[in-house]
Amino acid sequence: MSSEPLIPMVDTLAWHKPVQQELRSAATRVLDSGRFLMGEEVMAFEQEVGTFLQANHTVSCANGTDALVLALSAAGLGPGDEVITTPFTFFATAEAIVRVGATPVFADIEPETFNIDPLRVKEAITEHTRAVLVVHLFGLPARIQEIQRLCEERSLLLIEDCAQSFGASVNGRMMGTWGDLGCFSFFPSKNLGGFGDGGLITAKTESVAEQLKLLRNHGSSAQYRHERMGFNSRLDEMQAALLRVKLKHIARYNEERKKIAEDYRSCLQGMDVLLPTGQEHVYHQFTVLTDQRDQLREHLASQGVASALYYPMPLHQQPVFEGLPMTQDLFVAEQVSRHCLSLPVFPGMTETQVNRVAESVSRFFSDDSAEFAYWFAGVAP
């Protein structure tokens, strides 16, 4: 083990240190207000996020998983409806589809972006398809224009899972405003990470936004009047107040992530590892592909560098989806899940830390090629 301090995947204390005073005064403001649900902070946060994203309507909720469930419910999806999505994402994406009674249909991903392949989406469409739930994984937008065009042609709803892509955009238009609905998570490690759970939905039309507001609050339009079955899924005042502070700095946080990615890229270029790229990437994760994934992970651990497997098993291979009929092969997702490794990226990560991670990775590949050369020389005639 290295004697140097561990480099974690995320260090929220380092991240928040520069805004500690702002956070404390926001928290105190809520404590002193005596109001903890459905108050001014939530209203202000929804408005400020709406302005940042340039979204027509924003409705906050308790977490990102609920954001997906509420969005799918508000869109009227349920039993008999098929929703096309990626098998290479966090479980909640598909879980939400099943929660509303609809059926997830997996379409394979592209190896370069880890995102759903528009051609495979097209192949997956049947007479029961009602929606495409696209994920902008690791902070990189999926091929949203092609998918949007396809959805328009086939009269399908387009829903975006933006849990990992807050602040990412394509042609200046924010992710979460391309589809009919956009779903966000404020889980602490996400790009706009909160201090507990939190979520948000963007909606294109006012009528859908109204449904979302009913759904998150027991289907209630006025006190003790219930229009439909709903949920208890509200963002609280404390989260909203703290998130307002972090929202003010989100552009800088995403710039910091991009800078770390640039540094990794310049150090690791030319090595036996595939690096992520993309102008529009906000690097929720910096995920590489290598055929020596497990060895690299062990090597990094021995150097005191954390790494993570996002995601080691594609969703169609999860025990809970055994028996779900497969309509296409998902070869790329299966390959990628065996070869992917995510390196530490977080705002507040120091240059020294970034260099240590990059050096640990490059040492692994140079030692490895030295070993290979030695082995090769030994067996060569």
Ligand X SMILES: *Cc1c(COP(=O)(O)O)cnc(C)c1O
Number of H helices, E strands in the chain: 13, 13
Cβ atoms within 10 Å, residue 304: 16
- Please give the structure tokens belonging to residue 163: 């849990």
Give least dist CB 160 to ligand X, A: 10
- Please give the structure tokens belonging to residue 146: 């092609």
**How far is residue 202's CA from residue 57's CA, in Å, rounded to a whole number?**
5
**How far is residue 170's CA from residue 376's CA, in Å, rounded to a whole number?**
47
Give least dist CB 34 to ligand X, A: 27
Give least dist CB 17 to ligand X, A: 24
Binding span for ligand X by CB under 6 A among 87-95, 301-309, 314-322, 338-346: 87-95
Binding mask 254-293 for ligand X (x = CB under 6 A): ----------------------------------------
Q: Is 106 in the site for ligand X (CB under 6 A)?
A: no
Binding span for ligand X by CB under 6 A among 61-69, 235-243, 255-263, 311-319: 61-69
- From 231, 219, 220, select the one nearest 100 (Cα to Cα): 231
Measured in degrees and rounded to the nearest 5, phi and psi for residue 171 equal 50, 40
Please say which residue, 187 or 364, places its beta carbon nearer to ligand X. Answer: 187
Give least dist CB 137 to ligand X, A: 7
Check: CB of residue 217 under 8 Å from CB of residue 234.
yes
Q: Is 187 in the site for ligand X (CB under 6 A)?
A: yes
Give least dist CB 213 to ligand X, A: 19
Judged by CB under 6 A, how many residues of this single chain contact ligand X?
A: 15
Please say which residue, 187 or 264, places its beta carbon nearer to ligand X. Answer: 187
Please say which residue, 81 or 161, places its beta carbon nearer to ligand X. Answer: 161
Give least dist CB 63 to ligand X, A: 4
Please say which residue, 102 or 354, places its beta carbon nearer to ligand X. Answer: 102
Q: Is 192 in the site for ligand X (CB under 6 A)?
A: no
What sections of the chain are H helices per DSSP?
A: 12-16, 20-33, 40-53, 64-74, 92-99, 118-124, 144-153, 206-216, 237-248, 250-268, 293-302, 331-339, 351-379
Q: Is 197 in the site for ligand X (CB under 6 A)?
A: yes
Binding span for ligand X by CB under 6 A among 40-48, 57-65, 272-280, 336-344: 57-65
Give least dist CB 363 to ligand X, A: 31
Q: Is 92 in the site for ligand X (CB under 6 A)?
A: yes
Q: Is 236 in the site for ligand X (CB under 6 A)?
A: no
CA distances from 317 to 9, 99, 331 (A): 26, 19, 12
Binding mask 16-55 for ligand X (x = CB under 6 A): ----------------------------------------
Cβ atoms within 10 Å, residue 258: 16
Return the H-helix or E-strand segment holding 186: none
Q: Is 90 in the site for ligand X (CB under 6 A)?
A: yes
Binding mask 136-175 for ligand X (x = CB under 6 A): -------------------------x-xx-----------
Pairing of strands 340-343, 286-289: antiparallel
Q: Is 199 in the site for ligand X (CB under 6 A)?
A: yes
Q: What is the CA radius of gyration of the chain?
A: 22
Give least dist CB 65 to ligand X, A: 3
Check: CB of residue 183 under 8 Å from CB of residue 67.
yes
**How far is residue 189's CA from residue 164's CA, in Å, rounded to a whole number?**
9
Please say which residue, 55 or 135, places its beta carbon nearer to ligand X. Answer: 135
CA distances from 229 to 66, 70, 302 (A): 15, 11, 52
Interacting residues with ligand X (CB under 6 A):
63-65, 89-90, 92-93, 135, 161, 163-164, 185, 187, 197, 199
